[in-house]
Chains A and B, each alone.
Chain A
């Protein structure tokens, strides 16, 4: 789906009405613009907030975000046989693989260690019994979106947020304190996707939610190898979307254990459960 247009229509709530005595003075209007594209079968929304001129200047950089995610898809897609990941799995990596693959393997090992094995990228093979396959999909999304967001961090005077199918990364460009306010992230009610169960506020960092609603049993319990059929969802927010995403997956597998582990291992991250 192509760019769906960029007409600013919304003023932020903190843009207070000018004082009557101040009426007529030039007060730069803060606007937010959004772009949406569908990559890897997911809707990716980029919101950029700032003064109109700064937002205008920032918009071309949003294309680099989408390009970055398209490359992530080419390297890690499990739906295309010619991705680096699938060539590696098929033993056809003699011409080399993208350096990202090595980086992601190491992060997956780190994630498994950090979560006491509640997160793993070595999942039971669909075809062969008692065999595990390397499938880093559960980490690649958060890692990829966080990496893509870096293309916006050098922009001047804007705040930005990217939502990739329910996982959100937020950041500030340079000299952006004037437009910094928390983004309000509604946590979807797992029982009714048209409702918000609670709200998490952050200026920067990441918010990730793991649950069974949208795709059925897509989270595997590494301890049993079976999908988790339970209702509800687990949300983690913290300084990085990559680790928020990993912890959210682990928290959906074993919420009580993550509630104990998280303060000890990653105290900057916070668990929010919806049942």
Chain B
């Protein structure tokens, strides 16, 4: 259980950095591209600053924060790949697809899968996490109110994704 929690947190950190910038209101291709690049540079300190972060093990490694496609319509569109964040369980890397300035899909394109248990966890956790993050971002939500959740439930919650976006 501990393992799920830590791993999920690190993925959220990666998602959060990307989504944080994707909510900037400069809806031009250049400004989102710039934001995306800035996200790359802020990932490093956020992952290594505190030492208490589960994902602080090795900081971030390789990155390719560039859009692979874009189209000029009412807002930015394209696919963006975030930093690969090294966690104690393996690398986590997230890719988001933006259409008209909103995140429409988020995929963990690199996740720890060293053993069967990792894969079983990922099969459940990644789709749930992606759905949560995309939904919260597309509605521009600041906070989540819901029936009381415990600290354990928080890890995979929408609120957790939002908190990460502000960290």
Residues on A lying within 8 angstroms of B by beta carbon are 1-11, 13-17, 32-34, 36, 38, 41-43, 45, 47, 141, 161, 163, 165-168, 183-188, 190, 193-196, 199-200, 207-215, 218, 233, 235
Contacts and interface: CB of A to CB of B under 8 A. Distances in A.
B105 interface: no
A89 to B, nearest CB: 22
A2 B53 CA distance: 8
Given A166-B145, A183-B142, A188-B146, A9 B45 contact: no
B1 interface: no
Chain A interface secondary structure, helix, strand, loop or mixed? strand
Contact of A199 (B16, B52, B139, B146): B139
A166 B25 contact: no
B84 interface: no
Interface string B9-43: 00000001100110111111001000000010010
B143 A185 contact: yes
Nearest to A13: B25
B94 to A, nearest CB: 14
B60 interface: no
- 8 closest A-B pairs by beta carbon, nearest first, are A188-B146, A211-B147, A9-B20, A34-B166, A10-B20, A186-B141, A43-B154, A2-B52
B144 interface: yes
A209 B158 CA distance: 15
Interface residues of B, number: 48
B49 interface: yes
Q: Which of A2, A7, A16, A141 has the most CB of B within 10 A?
A: A7
Contacts of A15: 24-25
A38 B140 CA distance: 25
A166 B149 contact: yes
A165 B163 contact: no
Interface stretch (B73-81, B85-93, B111-119, B130-138): B130-138
Contact of A185 (B23, B141, B163): B141
B50 A5 contact: yes
Contact of A214 (B141, B150, B163): B150
Contacts of B132: 194-195
Contact of A186 (B26, B45, B158, B160): B158
A45 to B, nearest CB: 5
A38 B45 CA distance: 23
A210 B46 CA distance: 34
Given A16-B25, A33-B166, A196-B158, A163 B144 contact: yes
B141 A184 contact: yes
